[in-house]
Structure 1
Amino acid sequence: MSKLKKALEKAKSEYPSIQLHTPEKREVTPIPVPGEPSVPRREVNVNYSNTKVRPVSHDQLRQNKIFALFSQEKVNDQIKTLRSQVLNKLKKLGANDFMITSANPGEGKTFTSINLGVSIAQELDKTVLIVDTDLKNPAKDHYDFAKDFFSVDVETGLADVLQGKVDLNDALINPGIDKLTILPGGTYLHNSSELLGSPQMERLVKDIRSRYKDRIVIFDAPAVLACSDPFQLTKFVKNVLFVVEEDKTTGDDLRKALKLLTDIEMIGMVLNKSRTN
């Protein structure tokens, strides 16, 4: 057993609620809870009258690795499995928002955030907002949320909303995917940590969390060992999905990251790029 696998097993023992999501799993049908009333699911339709719509061709989205849109992609089954498990966990918690992070940059957290968000948006009764909270790093050092995945050039986003430069509605974008809205990071900042822990961010989180009852909000957060920004975000977002990459994330890094994430609900871990059973 690799050092990473041993660290994962230890993490599961320390966080009993953790589910380890790996590529070997398949779609799981939720089991009804005895005595729980059955609530009919109603289809949600969205009319983007205020949100900017920036449609992107499906060919471009496939090239940008948004595989959740394409049923013929093998990884789509894995994404659907993750979707089922995450939604079931959120339902048990009575929550509709969570953060996705990793120990280090480049381990697949943004890929996971976007593909999971796109997959959830395909549910009959769900809409999704994905918020890019990686406000510190320049685009050349990591995948740019809006440009590299959605081929959308933006001038404003979360940072500008928090600074009062633009209204939230003016920063939201629909990339042509039904029931999916994104809030890009916007202007890169040196004081991103202070803004993410500010009263402005607290008000924003409360607003987007409560605005629509059918909405799932995903916060794509910076890597835990790269900066203090994720800890500021955990003041307001308590549910965390953690991404580790096989052969890249070390067991030591995983232990350090989990030790730093206190006072949170670990809803699961995603073992990215796993090649073993």
Structure 2
Amino acid sequence: MKNTIEKALQKQQEAQEKSKAEQASISESDDNASTIEKALAAKENSETTENLPVSDNEHAEEVSSSDNTNDNASNAKPNKYFDIDLDRLRENGFVNLENARTLINEEYREIKRKLLQNAFGPLASTIASSNIIMVSSARPSEGKTFTATNLAISIAAEQDKTVLLVDADVLKPNVLRTLGLEPTSGLMEYLLGKVDDLSEVIHHTNIPKLKIIPAGKSHHLSTELLASTVMKDTVAEFSSRYADRVVIIDTPPLIGINESAVLANLAGQAVIVTEEGRSKMGDIRHAVDRLNPDMAIGFVVNKSTQFSEKGGYYGYQYYGSGDRD
């Protein structure tokens, strides 16, 4: 009897253990199946998501996030960027953005003031494209690029103005070399259609309110390109798009070069650079005759040997169109 009970208990225990083993196996199988099903479902969802187009809102959030990241990065710079060596410019006698009242700073403050009054003051409504200022000279090597660059830097120091410096001396570009920068694509490439958007040739700089458009590579059709509808529309956009913008255009010398006469029809003001003891009065008169008669015209005397009341070597005189004779 005892043996029978023991055998029965043993048989019952074996049956229970077998049942537990079977249940554990079934449970493990269910868990594995569930895991596999979940993995397959996740993969299917991932593939579906990858094939779906990104919504505009998602793209906007992504761009916004990227922009914020760039804004917060200490070394973030725009793709088109010129890092101007400001110490080099100061050592070479250029306008600087320091608060010190240096002679060159004071001279260009005086020169720019009349230009800004013409561009944004009471007379602005009487001058077409008054904020477009071309800087030229009668003959080469009289200091026009030096003047254009200093004017741009000086105006960029204004609290409420931004400056776009355009090198339109496409026959002999000199703005980048003057600033110690390497040549790159610019205005010519845009006019030729080699770049799709003007923003591709506008370079930001480490002077916050100054942007630069280089001349780009010279082209045998430069006169026709500068006289094209694209160029006219571009300058018109310069003039009207930003209410606080001043555009300084460094143009070729006026005598004997057709490009300058073309550009004179696009600007509202002209600054003619003359060199003391070098520029001839006949050349100056000839240069003025090539300008648009409706322009406001000013003259900068470069390398003057006579000191002004402030002790400067640069003089500026302004003449309206009626004062030419």
Q: What TM-score, normalized by structure 1, do the two folds share? A: 0.75
In the other structure, the counterpart of 2:194 is 165
Alignment of 1:1-277 (within 5 A): 52-70=80-98, 71=100, 73-90=102-119, 91=121, 92-94=123-125, 95-137=130-172, 144-146=174-176, 148-166=177-195, 167-276=197-306
Shift of 1:153: 1.3
Cα 1:169–1:152 shift into 2, 3 Å: same
Q: Is the 8 A contact 1:52 1:170 kept in 2?
A: yes
How far, CA to CA, are the matches of 1:215 and 1:89 in structure 2?
Answer: 13
- Which range is displaced more, 68-77 or 172-181? 68-77
Q: CA deviation at 1:223?
A: 0.4
Counterpart of 2:152, as a letter, is: G
1-side partners of 2:289 and 2:297: how far apart? 16
Provide the rounded CA distance (Å) in 1 between the counterparts of 2:247 and 2:263. 14
Alignment partners' CA distance in 1, 2:273 and 2:85: 28
Q: Which amino acid is the alignment partner of residue 113 of structure 1?
A: A
Structure holding more helix per residue:
2
Tell me the SS of whatever aligns to 2:136: strand
Maintained 8 Å contact 2:222/2:259: yes
The sequence identity of aligned pairs, in percent, is 35
Distance 2:157 2:223 in 1: 33
State the 1:151 CA deviation.
Answer: 2.0
In the TM superposition, residue 237 of structure 1 has moved relative to its aligned partner by: 1.7
Alpha-carbon separation, structure 2, partners of 1:75 and 1:263? 31
> How many Å apart are 1:85 and its aligned residue?
1.6
Over 6 Å off, 4+ runs = none
Secondary structure at 1:86 match in 2: helix
**Deviation of the 1:83 alpha carbon:** 1.3
Give 1:77 deviation, angstroms: 0.8
With normalisation by structure 2, the TM-score equals 0.65
Partners of 1:66 and 1:149 within 8 A in 2: no
Between 1 and 2, higher relative CO (CA 8 Å, sep ≥ 6) is seen in: 1
Please tell me whether the aligned partners of residues 103 and 223 of structure 1 are also in contact (alpha carbons under 8 angstroms): yes
C-alpha spacing 1:125/1:114, structure 2 compared with 1 (3 Å)? same
Secondary structure of the residue aligned to 1:69 is coil
CA 1:190–1:63 in structure 2 vs 1: closer, same or farther (change >3 Å)?
Answer: farther
* Aligned amino acid, residue 181 of structure 2: V
Give how far 1:62 is off: 2.3
Tell me how many residue pairs correspond in the alignment. Answer: 225
Deviation at 1:65, TM superposition (A): 4.2
Deviates more, 1:92-101 or 1:158-167: 92-101
Checking the alignment, whether the CA contact within 8 Å between 1:127 and 1:216 is kept in structure 2 is yes
Q: Give the CA deviation at 1:215.
A: 0.7
| CA distance 1:245–1:61, change in 2 (3 Å) | same
Aligned-pair distance for 1:197?
0.8
> Distance between the aligned counterparts of 2:258 and 2:92, measured in 1?
29
Separation of aligned partners in 1, 2:152 and 2:116: 11
The one-letter code matched in structure 1 to 2:251 is: A
* Mapped contact 1:51–1:169 kept (Cα < 8 A): no
